[in-house]
């Protein structure tokens, strides 16, 4: 079969699929097929044949929809800051209890980003985000089981762990910057009944009711002199950077010197059988089963839910409390920003509860360990403890919004100036082209930075963002104006323009209703490529500190906080993910623009 016949057969089959043609269509040649195809249909067909460009569309639309819809479900709090969650690595393993501990739990204690547990055989387990710094890893630094001995109790602080073995020896590991892992010699001479750990501080309660503390005395408000009741203590609870104690007469005392909301213990508080402390509040369980809460607690911490049964166990997290009743039911209340008070509805027949910070653990009658609260961060956290994933979502929406609006402004200006300049020519063309050259000759980034610095500092945040969009739009239209002018110069000599002039159609209508629609495909390609440029420019300005200001996130100013060599080496997730997202979006947009350009160019249609 000849090549011509093959082409005819291929064309006939194609037209059959498109138009349902039969015998007469099968006889049409290649030129007839092209005549039947509308220009837009040809462009669409050519674009969809470009697999790379089509893949770029799918990837970009996916990212665009995620950053558009995502902030609705994960809004960012511009005032968000959590000092206990700074520079946490990516992952959701904070409550991944080791299988060996299931069904054999003796005690669990929770640190800022990790947990430590001990089984009934005295073996210690550590899980979660255990890497505290470049040199400190709670899991790797843990002594061997032989060195620990048979452990009967564990306590996790902000960045260190304490373990009490059956011989009465306290073994600590982790950060020792303030001496919090070096117990004084007097600890070894007394029998210890309780251990507790806080922020750079360690505590031990002796059988005689005496508290011994060591670590950072400057940061922590702790005074364990006998006039504060030391020597008659039956339980201690760590509250942020101070210590509360339950005395053997059923009263609660603040073991510090400084006056605060926590130190103001209610005067009539007696018959207390248990205490627990959150970051800024204290809860006391009375003998009759009632709870008394005081301190700088938020409203949700003081709103105790209706509890069925009598509370038998109680502990405090960072901003919440959790209680266990004699009926085996568990209740949590307080802040719920990490689902730490969202007790699983299926949780029943609980025998013990543990936790702290933002994690909760419940052990059932069968020995199963149930968890709820903060599992971790998908993409880690930054220097202020803010979720990188949430900031990427909100920052991406801001970056794309600024880029899109800037492109719309520059496209409108470019079409108007280019269309008028190309159609009317003469002195109009000369004046408009000189204006175009002046704007194009301005150094873009320095001009944008200068204008933003001079005008932007006196504006509100919303007005400043609008100003950035306008600056980007007004300084990026010259290239499109020149392209439109060139296309209009070619189109204005065609017969349909002559016919429109002969019919008396207004010149403005000829330009914007007849000529511009014929070059709209070229404008779309240019606007698509300019979108990527505007996103990069906005990110550059924000990175340099002349764009959107922190704490409102954009992909540019997120990277601004990663210029330190310490961050680049140790906290890679803070710069890798924003850089990848920005790069993927810009590459996809450029691939889409190239695909559109190839689809519009007839020479790219290979038969």
Burial of 576 (0-12, 13-18, 19+ CB in 10 A): middle
Please spell the DSSP secondary structure of 57-75, one letter per residue: HHHHHHHHHHHHHHHHHS-
pLDDT for 602: 54
**280 φ, ψ (degrees, to nearest 5):** -130, 20
**295 φ, ψ (degrees, to nearest 5):** 115, -170
Q: What is the 3-class SS of 90-150, one letter each residue? A: CECCCCCCCHHHCCCEEEEEECCCEEEEEECCCCEEEEECCECCCCCECCCCCCCHHHHCC
DSSP SS3 for 201? strand
Measured N-to-C along each axis, helices 478-491 and 388-424 cross at an angle, to the nearest 10 degrees, of 40
What's 266's DSSP letter? -
SS3 content of the chain, % helix, strand, coil (to 5): 45, 20, 35
User: Token digits for 381?
Assistant: 């956290």
In the chain (607 residues long), the average pLDDT of successive 10-residue segments reads 52 48 46 54 79 92 92 85 91 93 93 94 95 90 94 94 94 93 89 94 93 91 76 89 92 90 90 93 91 84 89 93 94 93 92 94 92 94 92 92 92 90 86 90 78 72 84 87 86 76 76 76 86 89 83 90 86 93 93 85 52
CB 537 within 8 A of CB 555: no
* Domain range annotation of the chain: 39-72+390-604
Separation between Cα atoms, residue 116 and residue 97, nearest integer Å: 9
**22 φ, ψ (degrees, to nearest 5):** -125, -120
Buried-state track 503-519, b at ≥16 Cβ within 10 A, e below 16: eeeeeeebbbebbbebb
**Chain segment 247-257, per-residue pLDDT in tens:** 999 999 999 88
- Chain centroid to CA 147: how far? 40
CB atoms within 10 A of CB 486: 14
Q: What is the CA radius of gyration of the chain?
A: 35
What's 515's DSSP letter? I
User: Token digits for 317?
Assistant: 């997290």
Measuring CA to CA, which residue among 351, 353, 343 is closest to residue 373?
A: 343
Bridge partners for 109 per DSSP:
116, 355
User: Token digits for 286?
Assistant: 């009375």
User: Token digits for 543?
Assistant: 């990175």
Separation between Cα atoms, residue 65 and residue 197, nearest integer Å: 45
Single pTM value for the model = 0.82
Measured N-to-C along each axis, helices 520-544 and 478-491 cross at an angle, to the nearest 10 degrees, of 170
**Chain segment 93-138, per-residue pLDDT in tens:** 999 999 999 889 999 999 999 999 999 999 999 999 999 888 899 9
Is the domain spanning 39-72+390-604 CATH 1.10.3720.10? The answer is yes
- Chain centroid to CA 504: how far? 60
pLDDT for 607: 43
Separation between Cα atoms, residue 290 and residue 266, nearest integer Å: 14
Measuring CA to CA, which residue among 585, 478, 579 is closest to residue 532?
A: 585
Burial of 599 (0-12, 13-18, 19+ CB in 10 A): buried
Separation between Cα atoms, residue 360 and residue 524, nearest integer Å: 54
CB 64 within 8 A of CB 340: no
DSSP SS3 for 465? helix
CB 200 within 8 A of CB 241: no
Measuring CA to CA, which residue among 299, 332, 303, 329 is closest to residue 315?
A: 332
Torsion sign, CA atoms 79, 82, 87, 93: negative
pLDDT for 15: 43
CB 589 within 8 A of CB 528: yes
pLDDT for 393: 93
Q: Prior bond to 551 cis, omega within 30?
A: yes
Q: Give the DSSP H/E element, type plus range, for residue 192.
A: strand 192-197
Measuring CA to CA, which residue among 141, 146, 186 is closest to residue 159?
A: 141
pLDDT for 22: 46
Measuring CA to CA, which residue among 224, 302, 295, 298 is closest to residue 259?
A: 295
């Amino acid at each position: 079969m000849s090549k011509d016949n093959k082409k005819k057969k291929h064309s006939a089959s194609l037209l059959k699929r498109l138009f349902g043609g039969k015998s007469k269509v099968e006889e049409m040649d290649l030129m007839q097929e092209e005549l039947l195809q509308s220009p837009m249909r040809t462009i669409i067909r050519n674009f969809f044949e470009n697999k790379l460009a089509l893949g770029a569309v799918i990837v970009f639309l996916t990212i665009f929809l995620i950053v558009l819809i995502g902030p609705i479900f994960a809004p960012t709090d511009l005032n968000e800051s959590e000092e206990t969650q700074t520079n946490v690595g990516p992952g959701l393993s904070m409550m991944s209890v080791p299988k060996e501990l299931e069904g054999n739990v003796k005690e669990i204690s929770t640190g800022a980003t990790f947990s430590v547990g001990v089984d009934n055989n005295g073996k210690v387990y550590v899980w979660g985000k255990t890497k505290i710094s470049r040199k400190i890893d709670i899991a790797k630094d843990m002594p061997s089981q032989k060195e620990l001995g048979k452990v009967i109790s564990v306590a996790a602080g902000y960045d260190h762990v304490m373990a009490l073995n059956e011989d009465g020896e306290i073994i600590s590991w982790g950060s020792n910057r303030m001496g919090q892992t070096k117990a004084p010699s007097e600890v070894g001479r007394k029998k210890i009944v309780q251990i507790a750990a806080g922020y750079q501080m360690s505590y031990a309660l002796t059988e005689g009711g005496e508290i011994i503390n060591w670590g950072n005395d400057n940061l922590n408000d702790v005074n364990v002199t006998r006039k504060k009741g030391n020597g008659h203590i039956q339980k201690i609870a760590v509250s942020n950077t101070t210590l509360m104690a339950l005395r053997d007469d059923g009263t609660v005392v603040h073991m510090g010197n400084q006056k605060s909301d926590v130190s103001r213990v209610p005067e009539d508080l007696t018959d207390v059988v248990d205490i627990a402390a959150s970051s800024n509040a204290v809860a006391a369980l009375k003998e009759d089963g009632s709870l008394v809460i005081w301190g700088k607690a938020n409203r949700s911490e003081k709103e105790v839910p209706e509890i069925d049964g009598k509370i038998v166990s109680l502990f405090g997290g960072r901003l919440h409390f959790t209680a266990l009743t004699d009926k085996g039911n568990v209740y949590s209340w307080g802040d719920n920003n990490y689902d730490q008070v969202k007790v699983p509805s299926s949780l029943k027949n609980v025998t013990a509860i543990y936790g702290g910070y933002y994690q909760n653990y419940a052990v059932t009658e069968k020995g199963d360990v149930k968890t709820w609260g903060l599992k971790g961060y998908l993409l880690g956290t930054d220097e202020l403890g803010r979720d990188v994933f949430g900031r990427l979502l909100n920052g991406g929406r801001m970056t794309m919004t600024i880029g899109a609006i800037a492109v719309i402004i520059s496209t409108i200006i470019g079409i108007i100036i280019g269309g008028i300049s190309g159609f009317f020519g003469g002195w109009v063309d000369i004046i408009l082209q000189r204006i175009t050259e002046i704007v194009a000759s301005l150094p873009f980034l320095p001009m944008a930075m200068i204008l933003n610095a001079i005008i932007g500092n006196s504006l509100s945040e919303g007005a400043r963002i609008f100003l950035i969009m306008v600056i980007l739009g007004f300084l990026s239209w010259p290239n499109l104006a020149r392209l439109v002018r060139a296309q209009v110069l070619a189109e204005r000599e065609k017969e349909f323009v002559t016919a429109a002039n002969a019919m008396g159609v207004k010149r403005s209508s000829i330009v914007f209703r007849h000529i511009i629609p014929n070059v709209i495909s070229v404008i779309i390609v240019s606007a698509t490529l300019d979108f990527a440029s505007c996103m990069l420019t906005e990110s550059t300005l924000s990175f340099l500190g002349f764009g959107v200001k922190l704490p409102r996130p954009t992909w540019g100013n997120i990277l601004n906080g990663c210029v330190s060599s310490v961050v680049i080496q140790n906290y890679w997730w803070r710069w890798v993910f924003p850089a990848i997202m920005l790069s993927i979006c810009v590459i996809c947009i450029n691939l889409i623009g190239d695909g559109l350009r190839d689809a519009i160019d007839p020479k790219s249609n290979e038969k």
